[in-house]
């Protein structure tokens, strides 16, 4: 079959990302056409509400409310799924893949939830599913793992993967904004998901971490074996502790792999990151990912993790790869063999357990303001052989309670869990203890 001379692009969804892709693909069209040696035809966009006012204006003839009109058009070779969610997005994606088309997606929820089914359709019908934009916005992390860093096995991948959380933590920590105001700002800037609880409760970062874990280790991280925590409960005392002791508060995704014992752990949670670590300096909407590879050592990639422009950059990168593959200029995407190899690799890996995840911890406790209360707390730490490194006590005169924040030396999640269980039983502990992990770049 001869390669098509004109490649048709169809776009599903015309929100933050869809409009960014249209705008930049239109701007760069002539340049890309001359580099790729083909004509690019931006054929049609599917959206829900044609009456909605949008920053990017396009001719009515290019718009449809019926996504099938885009997917089933024989002159559309590349379908960009930019609507989000997992129901319609899955249906549309499989419909395009079942026709052997290329799907370019920014949808991490879809890939994390239905990866095996999607790749089965890729293998069966010979299409492609490209997903650079699904993790870390404009940072080409997928390509880096698959191509540039292919020589490596990664014992640690740690990153800030949610732009909304990082924007909120930066604005709360540096500018004193409230959580609610900082979230509102992130929504207005187009960083947040349509349902922002996905961002602030850590689900979006888990989707992304699971994709990276699968790419690096061939195994999807199931929700029930992944520690998923968000940033809602972070308060002024936590920010104060971080500032006093040289940490930045970050929402981290941590993928650890032990090659000897063949386990992998995946966790996403707010953590204290020492200021000397490069990730502590990744602020605002930016994402940053450090990969510790056995050949390259530690490599960090950083850049804008959300927003229409940065994400469009990743989507257009995938479109360029797709065009190169469709016109026979290179073999791109995850081929059938690659997918089979990854599946095989994943079968050999188990999820690590709570004794195998070790880090220092930070704890905030609200305690009854009475003599001997702290002693009762410290006894529990000592019983479980958890050593305390630093403590701050805040008094709240006349309120009958005080706040204590403390950090520990490295211990296992299992031990810390045992400490927490006992602390919860103390009548003198007045609120649910608030726990953060402390990222230790040297561990
Ligand atoms: P938006 O909510 O801004 O846009 C979604 C678009 O999809 C809207 O234009 C909507 O139409 C359209 N849409 C929804 N359902 C349908 C349907 N059934 N048929 C046709 N069109 C439909 O989302 P974003 O652009 O922010 O996000 C899109 C995807 O990209 C998501 O998967 C998200 O997770 C991902 N992503 C987002 C990033 C960001 O920074 N925003 C960054 C990286 C990935 P209408 O406008 O008419 O309502
Ligand atoms: N809502 C996501 C974020 C978009 O804030 O990181 C980018 O995936």
Instruction: In whole angstroms, give the CA distance from residue 170 to residue 172.
Output: 6
pLDDT tier at 440 (50, 70, 90 boundaries)?
confident
Task: Name the residue with the closest Cα to ligand 1, atom 21.
Answer: 47
Q: Could you tell me what percent of the chain has a pLDDT over 90?
A: 88
Class of domain 141-304: alpha beta
For ligand 2, say whether the CB of 305 is within 6 Å of any of its atoms: yes
Contact between 12 and 81 (Cβ < 8 Å): yes
Write down the pTM of the prediction: 0.93
Is pLDDT larger for residue 399 or for residue 41? 41
CATH topology of domain 358-438: Alpha-Beta Plaits (3.30.70)
Instruction: In whole angstroms, give the CA distance from residue 183 to residue 376.
Output: 38
Specify the ligand 1 atom closest to the Cα of 83.
7
Residues near 315 by beta carbon (within 8 Å), at least 6 away in sequence: 17, 20, 21, 80, 82, 104, 106, 132, 133
pLDDT for 370 equals 87
Question: In the chain, where does the domain assigned CATH 3.30.70.260 lie?
Answer: 358-438
pLDDT in tens, 146-175: 999 999 999 999 999 999 999 999 999 999
Residues near 216 by beta carbon (within 8 Å), at least 6 away in sequence: 145, 154, 157, 255, 257
pLDDT in tens, 369-417: 888 899 999 999 999 999 999 999 887 766 788 999 999 999 999 999 9
For ligand 2, say whether the CB of 306 is within 6 Å of any of its atoms: yes
Contact between 435 and 363 (Cβ < 8 Å): yes
For residue 198, which ligand has an atom nearest its CA? Answer: 2
Burial annotation 152-164 (CB, 10 A radius, 16+ → b, else e): bebeebbbbbbbb
Q: Average pLDDT in the 280-301 region?
A: 98
Instruction: In whole angstroms, give the CA distance from residue 433 to residue 427.
Output: 13
For residue 287, which ligand has an atom nearest its CA? Answer: 2
Question: In the chain, where does the domain assigned CATH 3.30.360.10 lie?
Answer: 141-304
Residues assigned a catalytic role:
208
For ligand 2, say whether the CB of 137 is within 6 Å of any of its atoms: yes
Question: In the chain, where does the domain assigned CATH 3.40.50.720 lie?
Answer: 6-137+309-347
pLDDT in tens, 46-65: 999 999 999 999 999 999 99
Instruction: In whole angstroms, give the CA distance from residue 51 to residue 21.
Output: 20
pLDDT tier at 331 (50, 70, 90 boundaries)?
low
If phi over 0 gives left and psi between -120 and 50 gives alpha, with beta otherwise, what is residue 153? beta
Task: Name the residue with the closest Cα to ligand 1, atom 4.
Answer: 15
pLDDT for 336 equals 65
Question: Tokens representing 151?
Answer: 């020589």
pLDDT for 315 equals 98
- What is 6-137+309-347's CATH number, 3.50.50.60, 3.90.1150.10, 3.90.180.10, 3.40.50.720? 3.40.50.720
For ligand 2, say whether the CB of 193 is within 6 Å of any of its atoms: yes
Instruction: In whole angstroms, give the CA distance from residue 14 to residue 45.
Output: 7
């Amino acid at each position: 079959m001869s390669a098509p001379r004109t490649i048709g692009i169809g776009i599903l969804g015309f929100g933050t990302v869809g409009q960014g892709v249209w705008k930049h693909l239109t701007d760069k069209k002539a340049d890309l056409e001359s580099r790729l040696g083909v004509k690019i035809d931006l054929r049609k966009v599917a959206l829900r509400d044609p009456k909605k006012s949008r920053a990017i204006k396009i001719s009515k003839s290019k718009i449809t409310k019926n996504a099938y009109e885009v997917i089933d058009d024989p002159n559309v070779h590349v379908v960009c799924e930019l609507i989000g969610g997992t129901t319609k997005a899955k249906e549309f994606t499989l419909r395009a893949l079942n026709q052997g088309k290329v799907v370019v997606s920014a949808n991490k929820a879809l890939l994390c939830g239905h990866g095996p089914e999607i790749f089965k359709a890729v293998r069966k019908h010979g299409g492609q599913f490209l997903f650079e934009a699904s993790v870390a916005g404009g940072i080409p992390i997928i390509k880096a793992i698959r191509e540039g860093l292919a020589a490596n096995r990664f014992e640690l991948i740690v990153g800030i993967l949610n732009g909304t959380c990082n924007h909120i933590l930066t604005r709360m920590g540096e500018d004193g904004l409230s959580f609610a105001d900082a979230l509102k700002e992130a929504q207005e800037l187009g960083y947040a998901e349509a349902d922002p609880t996905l961002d602030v409760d850590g689900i979006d970062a888990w989707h992304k971490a699971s994709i990276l874990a699968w790419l690096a280790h061939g195994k999807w991280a199931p929700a029930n074996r992944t520690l998923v925590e968000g940033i809602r409960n972070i308060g002024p005392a936590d920010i104060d502790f971080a500032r006093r002791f040289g940490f930045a508060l970050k929402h981290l995704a941590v993928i650890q792999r032990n090659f000897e014992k063949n386990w992998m752990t995946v966790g996403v949670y707010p953590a204290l990151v020492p200021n000397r670590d490069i990730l502590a300096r990744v602020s605002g909407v930016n994402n940053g990912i450090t990969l510790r590879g056995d050949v390259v050592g530690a490599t960090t990639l950083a850049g804008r993790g959300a927003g229409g422009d940065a994400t469009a950059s990743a989507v257009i990168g995938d479109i360029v790869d797709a065009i190169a593959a469709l016109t026979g200029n290179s073999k791109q995407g995850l081929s059938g063999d690659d997918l089979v190899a990854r599946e095989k690799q994943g079968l050999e890996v188990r999820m690590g357990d709570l004794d195998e995840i070790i880090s220092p911890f930070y704890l905030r406790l609200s305690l009854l303001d009475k003599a001997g209360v702290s002693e009762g707390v410290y006894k529990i730490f000592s019983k479980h052989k958890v050593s305390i490194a630093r403590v701050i006590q805040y008094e709240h005169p006349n309120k009958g309670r005080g706040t204590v924040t403390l950090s520990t030396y490295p211990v296992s999640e299992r031990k810390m869990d045992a400490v927490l269980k006992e602390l919860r039983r103390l009548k003198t502990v007045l609120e649910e203890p608030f726990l953060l992990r402390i990222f230790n770049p040297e561990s």
